[in-house]
């Protein structure tokens, strides 16, 4: 593909516009240079003065006014009539090529197994996520979220004790355990219950605490619901926690953190398969 192709309507219009601006600019500048060489009668002052610089009652420069109006007319014509919405353009050709490539990629990996997705996810993670979370996902000594704990019972306990915020759910941030009247032992019990009976983890290291956690979960159910599904998107769906689906939810929503905001990945930077792959990789960090 040539860097500039006159058969491309967009390029032709851009070149015409640039040439018109150059010619108008040369004409206007030349006119003012000539005026600068001719002595004029003293222009009436407005009476305003700042630091010895006075304001004069000059009329609007004719050349500037003509240029301004011409540019506005050009812009209106270009956007509503001149721009070839249905014509060929190199940008449009590139976008179509990318779209076709992405569709082929999605088709090739639609049925990929977890091992393949995990390997793919690691590559995507190193490019898109490692800058903040570190190449090993440990959060670089607390700079960002430690993903090696994410998706595990320890991650649930950490979220209960320290709270969670930044994903902009309708019910707002999750308060710290101490602010909700929950002590650390109760937080451990709730984490055991959520890990074993609600989340996608389906196991716990503290079987003896599950019953206690089930009884204490009521304070969490006010936002997450008795079933932990988040009451139709009002809060995070805990049944997905520990799976790639929960990671995809975070990627789609974005998240505010201590060093800035992780953007939403709904802008096309990652395909659905790539998001799932990142989810599989992050889920494997806690194994």
Q: Check pLDDT > 60 for residue 39.
A: no
DSSP code of residue 53:
E
pLDDT of residue 192: 96
Domain-located, residue 159 = yes
Residues 138, 227 share a domain? yes
Pick from 136, 131, 109, 148: which is nearest to 274 by CA? 109
Give ∠ CA 275-277-283 in degrees, rounded to 5: 105
Structure tokens at 266: 């709904």
Residues 250, 195 share a domain? yes
Residues 128, 48 share a domain? no
Percent of the chain residues past pLDDT 90, beyond the cut: 41
Domain-located, residue 142 = yes
Residues 256, 134 share a domain? yes
Residues 268, 131 share a domain? yes
Residues 145, 39 share a domain? no
Task: Determine the Cα–Cα distance for residues 162 and 246; give it in Å rounded to an integer.
Answer: 19
Give me the residue label for tokens 């805990």.
238
Pick from 252, 249, 231: which is nearest to 240 by CA? 249
- Burial label for 197, CB within 10 Å (0-12, 13-18, 19+), is middle
Domain-located, residue 99 = no
Residues 147, 79 share a domain? no
Summarised one tens digit per residue, pLDDT across range 118-159 is: 999 999 999 999 999 999 999 888 788 889 888 899 999 999
Is there a contact between 104 and 92 (Cβ–Cβ < 8 Å)? no
Distance, C-alpha 84 to centroid of its chain: 30
Last residue of a domain, one of 91, 125, 143: 91
Domain-located, residue 102 = no
Number of domains in the chain: 2
Residues 262, 147 share a domain? yes
Mean pLDDT of 49-62: 76
DSSP code of residue 194:
I
Q: Check pLDDT > 90 for residue 217.
A: yes
Mean pLDDT of 31-51: 71
Domain-located, residue 1 = no
- Report residue 6's pLDDT band, with 50, 70 and 90 as the boundaries: low
Summarised one tens digit per residue, pLDDT across range 18-37 is: 888 888 888 878 877 777 66
- Report residue 220's pLDDT band, with 50, 70 and 90 as the boundaries: very high
Range of the domain at 32: 9-91
Structure tokens at 86: 């249905």
Residues 192, 54 share a domain? no
Summarised one tens digit per residue, pLDDT across range 61-73 is: 777 788 889 888 8
Domain-located, residue 187 = yes
Q: 10-29 b/e with 16+ CB inside 10 Å = b?
A: bbebeeeeeeeeeebeeebe
Handedness of CA 69, 73, 79, 84 (dihedral sign): negative
Residues 170, 39 share a domain? no
Last residue of a domain, one of 91, 126, 145: 91
Residues 193, 272 share a domain? yes
Mean pLDDT, the chain, rounded, equals 85
Q: Does 145 or 216 have the greater pLDDT score?
A: 216
Residues 207, 137 share a domain? yes
């Amino acid at each position: 593909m040539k860097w500039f192709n006159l058969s491309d309507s967009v390029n032709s219009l851009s070149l015409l516009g640039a040439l018109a601006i150059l010619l108008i600019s040369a004409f206007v500048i030349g006119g003012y240079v000539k005026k600068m060489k001719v002595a004029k009668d003293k222009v009436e002052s407005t009476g305003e003065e700042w630091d010895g610089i006075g304001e004069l009652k000059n009329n609007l420069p004719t050349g500037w006014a003509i240029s301004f109006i011409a540019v506005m007319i050009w812009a209106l014509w270009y956007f509503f009539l001149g721009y070839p919405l249905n014509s060929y353009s190199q940008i449009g050709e590139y976008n179509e090529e990318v779209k076709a490539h992405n569709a082929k990629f999605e088709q090739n990996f639609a049925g990929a197994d977890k091992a393949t997705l995990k390997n793919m996810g690691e590559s995507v993670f190193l490019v898109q996520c490692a800058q903040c979370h570190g190449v090993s996902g440990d959060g670089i000594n607390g700079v960002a979220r430690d993903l090696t704990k994410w998706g595990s019972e320890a991650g649930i306990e950490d979220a209960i004790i320290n709270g969670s915020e930044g994903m902009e759910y309708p019910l707002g941030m999750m308060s710290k355990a101490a602010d909700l009247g929950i002590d650390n032992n109760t937080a451990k019990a709730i984490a055991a219950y959520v890990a074993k009976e609600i989340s996608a983890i389906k196991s716990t290291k503290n079987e003896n605490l599950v019953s206690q956690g089930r009884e204490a979960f009521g304070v969490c159910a006010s936002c997450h619901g008795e079933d932990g599904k988040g009451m139709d998107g009002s809060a995070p769906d805990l049944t997905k926690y520990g799976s790639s689906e929960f990671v995809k939810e975070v990627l789609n929503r974005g998240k505010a953190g201590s060093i800035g905001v992780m953007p939403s990945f709904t802008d096309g930077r990652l395909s659905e398969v790539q998001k799932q792959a990142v989810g599989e990789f992050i889920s494997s960090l806690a194994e």
